Copies of this chain bind each other. A is one copy, B any other.
Amino acid sequence: MSAPGSLEALIEALRVLPGVGPRSAQRMAYHLLQRNQAGARRLADSLAHALDVLRHCERCNSFSEQDVCGRCANPGRDARLLCVVEMPADLAVLEQSQSFNGLYYVLMGRLSPLDGIGPRELKLERLVARAMDGVVEEVIVATNFTNEGEATAHLVSELMHARGLRVSRLSRGVPVGGELEHTDAGTIAQALIERRPL
């Protein structure tokens, strides 16, 4: 009521960020406007730019500025191995382990019935089409070892088996209930080596 409309609008807009309520949105708005206008402008610009140029790679479904991202287009990678992860952060952890030279498919989520995310919302038919390219020989399921990640792994494995593809899962080197993102590269490497057929 007392704040200018453009300030109210900014505070409301900040609430789109995960975990940000009215109070912390207000604090963020004051901070941006009062203490760091240059940083705020950079944020507005980079957000608008990212929205403009980022899309999903046609092959791996991760964020990319090209139709096909550099990794998927790299002929040096082993296209017979397709590793399925939940999020780009998981892909980054696997890359950091330097123990995988195949390709990826990023689900951009996981099965989560409580949040209304089922097979359709995950667009699993895109993953099936990708895996059926005639080159992929083995699908390595590297979803998290949480309940939702395990359920996702189970469904992906069923879909792949039904189409005659070999499926494996990262070994249980990753702590049960833990998330890939928080696992050290050595454990990740071990889990890749010990992957077991599903």
Contact = CB atoms under 8 A, between A and B. Distances in A.
A47 B43 contact: yes
A9 B51 contact: no
A10 interface: yes
Given A4-B63, A9-B49, A88-B3, A14 B43 contact: yes
A50 B33 contact: yes
11 contacts: A2-B71, A4-B53, A4-B64, A4-B69, A9-B49, A13-B47, A16-B39, A17-B31, A18-B31, A27-B89, A40-B51
A67 interface: no
A16 B6 CA distance: 20
A36 B50 contact: no
B65 A36 contact: no
Interface of A: 1-7, 9-10, 12-14, 16-18, 23, 26-34, 36-37, 39-51, 53-54, 63-65, 69, 71, 87-89, 91-92, 95, 108-109, 181
A70 B187 CA distance: 61
A interface SS class: helix
Given A34-B109, A48-B48, A53 B16 contact: no
A16 B43 CA distance: 8
Given A48-B44, A50-B9, A92 B17 contact: no
A123 to B, nearest CB: 12
A9 B46 contact: yes
